[in-house]
Amino acid sequence: MNKVLLALCAAFSIALPAHAVTLESATLNGNLLDSSFSTPALIALDISLLNNSPLSFSFVLDADDITAGGVDVNAILRDVSGFGIGSFTLTTGGAPISVVTGSLLATTVNGDLLSSDYFAGAPVAEFYFGNPFLEDGLVDWRIGFSGLSAGDRFTLDLATTPAVPEPSEWMLMLAGIGLIGVSAARKLGR
């Protein structure tokens, strides 16, 4: 009985797929991350932005990752109302890394789905990089590992920027400050 159990365990362990690129560290600065949807061939990041502090994700490659030649990436950026996407930066320890961009969609606070051609001026609530919901016609981003070796690291940095108020919002803020000033002057005059 023990030999059968041992043989089943050995067969099961051999059948397990190689693990995905290993997330070595994440600098979240108070933001939230769920990477539990990642698979051996996919880095899946579900990020909830609670502030506009920069985020950084450091990954380490193993021999199986190099043999696979690359990994697919998709991400959901939640709660981005009031933030703009400043930049995405992908760096390595010196070797060039290739990135093939995939689909980029956004949803508004009203639930409207926007393609990247229509982001300007829309009140975006979430961004979808790649195909996190496995929809037809959408493509994940791809990071290629040619020129890299097992043990090499790469970093994905995300910077957000606070949204710039519209002119009408500035006028409302100035009117509100003016009313506070008038109210304070009236109280002082009494």
CA distance 27 to 121: 30
Position 164 scores a pLDDT of 58
Q: How many CA atoms lie within 13 A of 115 on its CB side?
A: 5
Backbone angles phi, psi at 149, to 5 degrees: -125, 165
CA distance 190 to 176: 22
CA distance 59 to 157: 11
Selection from 76, 69, 54, 60 nearest residue 143 by Cα = 69
Residues in the chain: 190
- Whether the model pTM is above 0.85: no
Q: What is the pLDDT of residues 31-85, one digit of tens each?
A: 999 999 998 889 999 999 888 888 889 999 888 888 888 899 999 988 876 666 6
Quick one: tokens of 184?
Answer: 């304070």
Who contacts 45 (Cβ-Cβ below 8 Å, separation ≥6)? Answer: 33, 34, 35, 38, 57, 73, 74, 75, 76
CA distance 3 to 177: 80
Position 139 scores a pLDDT of 94
Tell me which residues of the chain have a pLDDT lower than 50: 1-18
Position 85 scores a pLDDT of 65
